Structure 1
Amino acid sequence: MNYSLNEIEATSKKAARGAGYSWGMAEEAGKAARWLCIQGQDGCAALAGFLGQIDGKTLADHRPQDLSGQWSAKSTLCPLTAGAALSDCAHDLTTDEIILSEVAYPALLLPFASRVAIRLGRFVELECDEVFATTNGPELYLDEPLPRHGTKVTVRLQTKMDLALPRHTRGVPTQDVWATLNKFAHRTYAPATEESRLLGAGAGLSDND
Protein backbone atom coordinates (compact mmCIF):
# COMPACT_ATOMS: atom_id res chain seq x y z
CA MET A 1 0.00 0.00 0.00
CA ASN A 2 1.04 3.59 -0.50
CA TYR A 3 -0.15 6.54 1.55
CA SER A 4 -0.39 10.28 1.05
CA LEU A 5 2.13 12.47 2.81
CA ASN A 6 -0.69 13.93 4.91
CA GLU A 7 -1.70 10.44 6.09
CA ILE A 8 1.89 9.62 6.94
CA GLU A 9 2.41 12.83 8.90
CA ALA A 10 -0.86 12.50 10.83
CA THR A 11 -0.35 8.83 11.72
CA SER A 12 3.29 9.37 12.67
CA LYS A 13 2.33 12.31 14.88
CA LYS A 14 -0.25 10.22 16.74
CA ALA A 15 2.19 7.32 17.01
CA ALA A 16 4.84 9.49 18.67
CA ARG A 17 2.25 10.88 21.04
CA GLY A 18 1.13 7.35 21.85
CA ALA A 19 4.73 6.49 22.67
CA GLY A 20 4.78 9.20 25.32
CA TYR A 21 6.08 12.32 23.56
CA SER A 22 4.44 15.70 24.06
CA TRP A 23 2.14 16.87 21.27
CA GLY A 24 4.82 19.36 20.27
CA MET A 25 7.49 16.71 19.85
CA ALA A 26 4.95 14.37 18.26
CA GLU A 27 4.30 17.03 15.64
CA GLU A 28 8.04 17.17 14.95
CA ALA A 29 8.08 13.39 14.54
CA GLY A 30 5.26 13.55 12.01
CA LYS A 31 7.02 16.22 9.99
CA ALA A 32 10.27 14.25 10.12
CA ALA A 33 8.65 11.07 8.78
CA ARG A 34 6.98 13.07 6.02
CA TRP A 35 10.22 14.80 4.97
CA LEU A 36 12.06 11.50 4.75
CA CYS A 37 9.30 9.99 2.61
CA ILE A 38 9.53 12.98 0.25
CA GLN A 39 13.21 12.12 -0.20
CA GLY A 40 12.33 8.51 -1.03
CA GLN A 41 13.49 7.25 2.37
CA ASP A 42 11.37 5.04 4.60
CA GLY A 43 10.56 7.58 7.27
CA CYS A 44 7.73 5.40 8.58
CA ALA A 45 10.08 2.46 9.17
CA ALA A 46 12.63 4.67 10.91
CA LEU A 47 10.03 6.14 13.26
CA ALA A 48 8.28 2.81 13.91
CA GLY A 49 11.62 1.15 14.63
CA PHE A 50 12.67 3.87 17.02
CA LEU A 51 9.36 3.96 18.87
CA GLY A 52 9.49 0.20 19.26
CA GLN A 53 12.99 0.46 20.65
CA ILE A 54 12.16 3.01 23.35
CA ASP A 55 8.65 1.78 24.15
CA GLY A 56 8.16 1.50 27.90
CA LYS A 57 11.46 3.22 28.68
CA THR A 58 12.07 6.57 30.35
CA LEU A 59 12.21 9.14 27.56
CA ALA A 60 14.35 11.50 29.65
CA ASP A 61 17.15 8.92 29.58
CA HIS A 62 17.36 9.36 25.80
CA ARG A 63 17.63 13.15 25.72
CA PRO A 64 20.96 14.95 25.25
CA GLN A 65 22.49 15.52 28.67
CA ASP A 66 24.86 18.34 27.71
CA LEU A 67 25.03 20.48 24.56
CA SER A 68 28.39 22.07 25.35
CA GLY A 69 30.53 19.15 24.20
CA GLN A 70 29.88 15.83 22.51
CA TRP A 71 26.16 15.14 22.77
CA SER A 72 25.14 11.95 24.54
CA ALA A 73 22.38 10.54 26.71
CA LYS A 74 22.13 8.12 29.61
CA SER A 75 20.93 5.56 27.08
CA THR A 76 20.85 5.69 23.28
CA LEU A 77 20.32 9.22 22.03
CA CYS A 78 16.83 10.07 20.77
CA PRO A 79 17.04 11.50 17.23
CA LEU A 80 13.86 13.54 17.75
CA THR A 81 14.89 15.45 20.86
CA ALA A 82 18.48 15.66 19.58
CA GLY A 83 17.15 16.92 16.25
CA ALA A 84 15.11 19.62 17.96
CA ALA A 85 18.20 20.65 19.92
CA LEU A 86 20.19 20.70 16.69
CA SER A 87 17.70 23.16 15.23
CA ASP A 88 18.09 25.37 18.30
CA CYS A 89 21.89 25.21 18.04
CA ALA A 90 22.01 25.92 14.31
CA HIS A 91 24.33 28.90 14.62
CA ASP A 92 26.89 26.82 16.56
CA LEU A 93 27.67 25.10 13.26
CA THR A 94 29.04 28.32 11.82
CA THR A 95 32.06 28.00 14.11
CA ASP A 96 32.37 24.26 14.75
CA GLU A 97 30.88 20.86 14.02
CA ILE A 98 28.49 19.07 16.37
CA ILE A 99 29.18 15.46 17.36
CA LEU A 100 26.55 13.10 18.74
CA SER A 101 27.21 9.70 20.31
CA GLU A 102 25.21 6.48 20.16
CA VAL A 103 22.26 7.81 18.15
CA ALA A 104 19.24 5.58 17.55
CA TYR A 105 17.88 5.69 13.98
CA PRO A 106 20.05 8.65 12.88
CA ALA A 107 18.05 9.04 9.64
CA LEU A 108 15.49 10.88 11.79
CA LEU A 109 18.10 13.62 12.33
CA LEU A 110 18.10 14.50 8.62
CA PRO A 111 14.81 16.47 8.58
CA PHE A 112 16.15 18.66 11.39
CA ALA A 113 19.43 19.13 9.53
CA SER A 114 17.36 20.32 6.57
CA ARG A 115 15.86 23.06 8.74
CA VAL A 116 19.33 24.15 9.79
CA ALA A 117 20.32 24.33 6.13
CA ILE A 118 17.35 26.58 5.37
CA ARG A 119 17.95 28.77 8.41
CA LEU A 120 21.65 29.30 7.63
CA GLY A 121 21.34 29.26 3.86
CA ARG A 122 24.10 26.63 3.74
CA PHE A 123 24.58 22.96 2.92
CA VAL A 124 24.54 20.73 6.01
CA GLU A 125 26.37 17.41 6.01
CA LEU A 126 25.73 14.53 8.37
CA GLU A 127 28.40 11.84 8.66
CA CYS A 128 27.33 8.66 10.42
CA ASP A 129 29.90 5.89 10.76
CA GLU A 130 31.38 6.68 7.30
CA VAL A 131 27.99 7.15 5.61
CA PHE A 132 27.46 10.68 4.30
CA ALA A 133 24.28 12.70 3.74
CA THR A 134 23.97 16.33 2.65
CA THR A 135 20.92 18.58 2.52
CA ASN A 136 20.21 22.07 1.26
CA GLY A 137 16.83 22.08 3.02
CA PRO A 138 14.27 20.79 0.53
CA GLU A 139 16.59 18.19 -1.03
CA LEU A 140 18.83 15.37 0.13
CA TYR A 141 21.96 13.62 -1.12
CA LEU A 142 22.68 10.25 0.47
CA ASP A 143 25.48 7.91 -0.61
CA GLU A 144 23.87 4.87 1.08
CA PRO A 145 21.17 4.20 3.69
CA LEU A 146 22.03 5.25 7.21
CA PRO A 147 22.35 2.46 9.80
CA ARG A 148 19.78 1.87 12.53
CA HIS A 149 22.35 2.93 15.11
CA GLY A 150 25.02 5.56 14.77
CA THR A 151 28.03 5.17 17.04
CA LYS A 152 29.29 8.62 16.06
CA VAL A 153 27.31 11.20 14.11
CA THR A 154 29.01 14.42 13.02
CA VAL A 155 27.04 17.39 11.73
CA ARG A 156 28.90 20.12 9.87
CA LEU A 157 28.45 22.77 7.21
CA GLN A 158 29.51 22.00 3.64
CA THR A 159 30.27 24.11 0.59
CA LYS A 160 28.59 21.88 -1.99
CA MET A 161 26.13 19.04 -2.44
CA ASP A 162 26.14 16.14 -4.89
CA LEU A 163 23.14 15.20 -7.02
CA ALA A 164 19.97 15.15 -4.92
CA LEU A 165 17.71 12.13 -4.68
CA PRO A 166 14.43 12.16 -6.64
CA ARG A 167 11.53 13.59 -4.65
CA HIS A 168 8.36 11.60 -3.99
CA THR A 169 4.73 12.54 -3.38
CA ARG A 170 3.65 9.40 -1.49
CA GLY A 171 5.12 6.96 1.00
CA VAL A 172 5.20 3.18 0.71
CA PRO A 173 5.58 1.67 4.20
CA THR A 174 5.23 -2.07 4.63
CA GLN A 175 2.09 -3.44 6.25
CA ASP A 176 4.03 -4.35 9.39
CA VAL A 177 5.47 -0.85 9.72
CA TRP A 178 2.09 0.79 9.17
CA ALA A 179 0.51 -1.55 11.72
CA THR A 180 3.20 -0.61 14.26
CA LEU A 181 2.56 3.11 13.81
CA ASN A 182 -1.18 2.54 14.19
CA LYS A 183 -0.61 0.45 17.30
CA PHE A 184 1.10 3.42 18.95
CA ALA A 185 -1.43 5.88 17.51
CA HIS A 186 -4.29 3.83 18.99
CA ARG A 187 -3.06 4.73 22.47
CA THR A 188 -4.15 8.32 21.87
CA TYR A 189 -7.78 7.35 21.37
CA ALA A 190 -10.15 7.72 24.32
CA PRO A 191 -11.78 4.45 25.38
CA ALA A 192 -15.41 4.15 24.30
CA THR A 193 -18.12 4.77 26.89
CA GLU A 194 -21.70 3.56 26.80
CA GLU A 195 -22.82 7.09 25.93
CA SER A 196 -20.33 7.46 23.07
CA ARG A 197 -21.30 4.05 21.69
CA LEU A 198 -24.97 5.04 21.64
CA LEU A 199 -24.20 8.38 19.99
CA GLY A 200 -21.92 6.71 17.50
CA ALA A 201 -24.62 4.27 16.53
CA GLY A 202 -27.02 7.16 15.93
CA ALA A 203 -29.76 5.46 17.96
CA GLY A 204 -29.86 7.61 21.08
CA LEU A 205 -32.25 6.75 23.90
CA SER A 206 -35.42 8.32 22.51
CA ASP A 207 -37.98 6.89 20.13
CA ASN A 208 -39.97 9.45 18.11
CA ASP A 209 -42.21 6.93 16.36
Structure 2
Amino acid sequence: MSFSLNEVEATAKRATRGAGYDWGVAEEAGKATRWLCAQGLDGVAELARVLERGFASNLDEHVPKHMESDWAGGMDLCPLMTGALLSDCSHLLQSGPNRIRNLATPAVLLPFAAQAARRQSAVVSVVAGDFCAATDGTRLVLENECPAHASVIEVALGDTLTNPRAQKTRAMPDPAAWNTLNSFAHRTYAPATEESRLLGAGAGLSDND
Protein backbone atom coordinates (compact mmCIF):
# COMPACT_ATOMS: atom_id res chain seq x y z
CA MET A 1 0.00 0.00 0.00
CA SER A 2 1.23 3.46 -0.88
CA PHE A 3 -0.12 6.66 0.66
CA SER A 4 0.58 10.34 0.20
CA LEU A 5 2.33 12.09 3.08
CA ASN A 6 -0.76 14.28 3.48
CA GLU A 7 -2.90 11.18 4.02
CA VAL A 8 -0.40 9.78 6.50
CA GLU A 9 -0.36 13.01 8.49
CA ALA A 10 -4.15 13.29 8.61
CA THR A 11 -4.62 9.66 9.66
CA ALA A 12 -1.88 9.86 12.31
CA LYS A 13 -3.39 13.04 13.73
CA ARG A 14 -6.87 11.54 14.05
CA ALA A 15 -5.51 8.26 15.42
CA THR A 16 -3.57 10.06 18.14
CA ARG A 17 -6.67 11.98 19.14
CA GLY A 18 -8.62 8.72 19.15
CA ALA A 19 -6.00 7.25 21.50
CA GLY A 20 -6.83 9.93 24.06
CA TYR A 21 -4.31 12.72 23.45
CA ASP A 22 -5.52 16.30 23.01
CA TRP A 23 -5.72 17.83 19.55
CA GLY A 24 -2.51 19.83 20.00
CA VAL A 25 -0.47 16.70 20.68
CA ALA A 26 -2.35 14.90 17.90
CA GLU A 27 -1.34 17.58 15.42
CA GLU A 28 2.30 17.24 16.45
CA ALA A 29 2.05 13.45 16.15
CA GLY A 30 0.72 13.79 12.62
CA LYS A 31 3.62 16.02 11.61
CA ALA A 32 6.11 13.71 13.32
CA THR A 33 4.75 10.64 11.53
CA ARG A 34 4.90 12.45 8.21
CA TRP A 35 8.51 13.52 8.85
CA LEU A 36 9.60 9.97 9.62
CA CYS A 37 7.92 8.67 6.47
CA ALA A 38 9.59 11.41 4.42
CA GLN A 39 12.92 10.06 5.68
CA GLY A 40 12.06 6.59 4.41
CA LEU A 41 11.22 5.22 7.86
CA ASP A 42 7.94 3.58 8.80
CA GLY A 43 6.54 6.40 10.93
CA VAL A 44 3.13 4.73 10.89
CA ALA A 45 4.49 1.61 12.61
CA GLU A 46 6.40 3.71 15.15
CA LEU A 47 3.31 5.75 16.06
CA ALA A 48 1.18 2.62 16.25
CA ARG A 49 3.58 1.20 18.86
CA VAL A 50 3.25 4.36 20.93
CA LEU A 51 -0.55 4.47 20.78
CA GLU A 52 -0.86 0.79 21.68
CA ARG A 53 1.02 1.49 24.93
CA GLY A 54 -1.95 3.54 26.17
CA PHE A 55 0.14 6.33 27.66
CA ALA A 56 -2.70 8.84 27.32
CA SER A 57 -4.70 7.16 30.09
CA ASN A 58 -2.08 8.19 32.68
CA LEU A 59 0.15 10.82 31.09
CA ASP A 60 1.43 12.23 34.37
CA GLU A 61 3.52 9.09 34.88
CA HIS A 62 4.96 9.23 31.34
CA VAL A 63 6.36 12.76 31.14
CA PRO A 64 9.63 14.12 32.58
CA LYS A 65 9.25 15.17 36.21
CA HIS A 66 11.62 18.13 35.88
CA MET A 67 13.42 20.08 33.17
CA GLU A 68 17.03 19.69 34.29
CA SER A 69 19.63 17.93 32.13
CA ASP A 70 18.49 14.44 33.17
CA TRP A 71 14.87 13.72 32.24
CA ALA A 72 12.95 10.85 33.82
CA GLY A 73 9.37 10.01 34.73
CA GLY A 74 7.58 7.66 37.05
CA MET A 75 7.35 5.06 34.26
CA ASP A 76 8.52 4.78 30.64
CA LEU A 77 8.43 8.19 28.99
CA CYS A 78 6.00 8.83 26.14
CA PRO A 79 8.04 9.99 23.11
CA LEU A 80 5.26 12.31 21.93
CA MET A 81 5.12 14.27 25.18
CA THR A 82 8.88 14.11 25.73
CA GLY A 83 9.50 15.16 22.14
CA ALA A 84 7.20 18.15 22.45
CA LEU A 85 9.11 19.26 25.55
CA LEU A 86 12.42 18.79 23.75
CA SER A 87 11.25 21.01 20.92
CA ASP A 88 9.79 23.68 23.20
CA CYS A 89 12.89 23.69 25.44
CA SER A 90 15.51 23.33 22.69
CA HIS A 91 17.40 26.31 24.15
CA LEU A 92 18.43 24.05 27.06
CA LEU A 93 20.70 22.17 24.64
CA GLN A 94 22.93 25.23 24.52
CA SER A 95 24.01 24.42 28.08
CA GLY A 96 24.95 20.83 27.26
CA PRO A 97 23.44 17.47 26.34
CA ASN A 98 20.06 16.33 27.65
CA ARG A 99 19.86 12.76 28.93
CA ILE A 100 16.47 11.09 28.68
CA ARG A 101 15.87 7.91 30.67
CA ASN A 102 13.55 5.01 29.87
CA LEU A 103 12.13 6.39 26.64
CA ALA A 104 9.66 4.23 24.73
CA THR A 105 9.89 4.05 20.93
CA PRO A 106 12.79 6.53 20.60
CA ALA A 107 12.41 6.78 16.81
CA VAL A 108 9.41 9.04 17.48
CA LEU A 109 11.76 11.48 19.23
CA LEU A 110 13.66 12.13 15.97
CA PRO A 111 11.12 14.52 14.36
CA PHE A 112 11.11 16.60 17.54
CA ALA A 113 14.91 16.64 17.52
CA ALA A 114 14.54 18.00 13.99
CA GLN A 115 12.28 20.77 15.30
CA ALA A 116 14.89 21.57 17.94
CA ALA A 117 17.56 21.71 15.24
CA ARG A 118 15.52 24.20 13.21
CA ARG A 119 14.88 26.36 16.26
CA GLN A 120 18.56 26.41 17.18
CA SER A 121 19.81 26.64 13.57
CA ALA A 122 22.13 23.75 14.32
CA VAL A 123 22.57 20.03 13.89
CA VAL A 124 21.11 17.93 16.73
CA SER A 125 22.39 14.45 17.50
CA VAL A 126 20.46 11.65 19.23
CA VAL A 127 22.47 8.75 20.66
CA ALA A 128 21.29 5.56 22.39
CA GLY A 129 23.91 2.85 22.75
CA ASP A 130 25.32 2.13 19.30
CA PHE A 131 22.41 3.93 17.62
CA CYS A 132 23.15 7.45 16.44
CA ALA A 133 21.08 9.96 14.48
CA ALA A 134 21.80 13.51 13.41
CA THR A 135 19.49 16.04 11.80
CA ASP A 136 19.57 19.65 10.70
CA GLY A 137 15.79 19.78 10.77
CA THR A 138 15.24 18.59 7.23
CA ARG A 139 17.83 15.93 6.52
CA LEU A 140 18.59 12.85 8.61
CA VAL A 141 21.63 10.63 9.06
CA LEU A 142 21.29 7.28 10.84
CA GLU A 143 23.83 4.79 12.11
CA ASN A 144 22.62 1.35 13.22
CA GLU A 145 19.08 0.34 14.08
CA CYS A 146 16.99 2.40 16.47
CA PRO A 147 16.05 0.38 19.56
CA ALA A 148 12.45 -0.20 20.61
CA HIS A 149 13.27 1.20 24.05
CA ALA A 150 16.17 3.30 25.33
CA SER A 151 17.25 3.16 28.97
CA VAL A 152 19.39 6.24 28.33
CA ILE A 153 19.29 8.49 25.28
CA GLU A 154 21.40 11.60 24.86
CA VAL A 155 20.40 14.62 22.79
CA ALA A 156 23.01 17.26 22.01
CA LEU A 157 23.89 20.13 19.69
CA GLY A 158 26.69 19.78 17.23
CA ASP A 159 27.62 17.22 14.61
CA THR A 160 28.01 17.03 10.88
CA LEU A 161 25.72 15.46 8.32
CA THR A 162 27.33 13.03 5.89
CA ASN A 163 25.30 10.92 3.47
CA PRO A 164 21.81 11.95 4.63
CA ARG A 165 18.91 9.70 3.74
CA ALA A 166 17.07 10.25 0.48
CA GLN A 167 13.77 12.06 0.91
CA LYS A 168 10.52 10.26 0.06
CA THR A 169 7.27 11.72 -1.26
CA ARG A 170 5.06 8.74 -0.45
CA ALA A 171 4.82 6.24 2.38
CA MET A 172 4.49 2.46 2.27
CA PRO A 173 3.60 1.57 5.87
CA ASP A 174 3.22 -1.87 7.36
CA PRO A 175 -0.42 -2.84 6.62
CA ALA A 176 -1.09 -4.00 10.18
CA ALA A 177 0.23 -0.71 11.58
CA TRP A 178 -1.91 1.26 9.12
CA ASN A 179 -4.96 -0.70 10.26
CA THR A 180 -4.05 0.05 13.87
CA LEU A 181 -4.00 3.80 13.20
CA ASN A 182 -7.33 3.60 11.42
CA SER A 183 -8.83 1.71 14.36
CA PHE A 184 -7.78 4.49 16.72
CA ALA A 185 -8.96 7.12 14.24
CA HIS A 186 -12.44 5.57 14.13
CA ARG A 187 -12.88 6.42 17.79
CA THR A 188 -13.15 10.08 16.82
CA TYR A 189 -16.09 9.52 14.49
CA ALA A 190 -19.52 10.36 15.86
CA PRO A 191 -21.96 7.45 15.71
CA ALA A 192 -24.58 7.77 13.01
CA THR A 193 -28.02 9.01 14.03
CA GLU A 194 -31.28 8.61 12.18
CA GLU A 195 -31.12 12.30 11.22
CA SER A 196 -27.55 12.04 9.88
CA ARG A 197 -28.42 8.92 7.91
CA LEU A 198 -31.35 10.68 6.31
CA LEU A 199 -29.25 13.74 5.50
CA GLY A 200 -26.57 11.51 4.03
CA ALA A 201 -29.12 9.89 1.78
CA GLY A 202 -29.75 13.19 0.00
CA ALA A 203 -33.45 13.97 -0.14
CA GLY A 204 -34.28 12.14 3.10
CA LEU A 205 -38.01 11.49 3.40
CA SER A 206 -39.02 14.11 0.87
CA ASP A 207 -39.60 13.26 -2.76
CA ASN A 208 -38.97 16.11 -5.20
CA ASP A 209 -39.52 14.06 -8.34
Identity rate, percent: 50
Which position in structure 1 is the counterpart of 2:50? 50
User: What are the equivalent positions in structure 2 for 1:117-156 lying under 5 Å apart?
Assistant: 117-156=117-156
| CA distance in 1 between partners of 2:33 and 2:159 (Å) | 27
Which position in structure 2 is the counterpart of 1:190? 190
The Cα offsets for residues 42-65 of structure 1, whole Å up to 9 and x where unpaired, read as: 100000011011267412221111
CA contact (8 A) 1:133 1:142 kept: yes
| CA distance in 1 between partners of 2:30 and 2:56 (Å) | 20
When the two structures are superposed, what TM-score results if normalisation uses the length of structure 1? 0.96
| CA distance in 2 between partners of 1:190 and 1:61 (Å) | 30
Which position in structure 2 is the counterpart of 1:92? 92
Relative to structure 1, is the Cα distance of residues 192 and 55 closer, same or farther in structure 2, using a 3 angstrom cutoff?
farther
The Cα offsets for residues 72-114 of structure 1, whole Å up to 9 and x where unpaired, read as: 1222101111111001211111111101011011111111111
AA of the residue aligned to 1:198: L
| CA distance in 1 between partners of 2:56 and 2:165 (Å) | 36
Q: Which moved more, 1:28-37 or 1:157-166?
A: 157-166
AA of the residue aligned to 1:59: L
| CA distance in 2 between partners of 1:150 and 1:197 (Å) | 48
Instruction: Provide the aligned length of Structure 1 versus Structure 2.
Output: 209
Which position in structure 1 is the counterpart of 2:17? 17
AA of the residue aligned to 2:89: C
When the two structures are superposed, what TM-score results if normalisation uses the length of structure 2? 0.96
**Structure 1 runs of 4+ with >3 Å offset:** none
| CA distance in 1 between partners of 2:15 and 2:75 (Å) | 21
Q: List gaps (5 residues or longer) in structure 1.
A: none
Relative to structure 1, is the Cα distance of residues 55 and 179 closer, same or farther in structure 2, using a 3 angstrom cutoff?
farther
Which position in structure 2 is the counterpart of 1:63? 63
CA contact (8 A) 1:99 1:153 kept: yes
AA of the residue aligned to 1:156: A
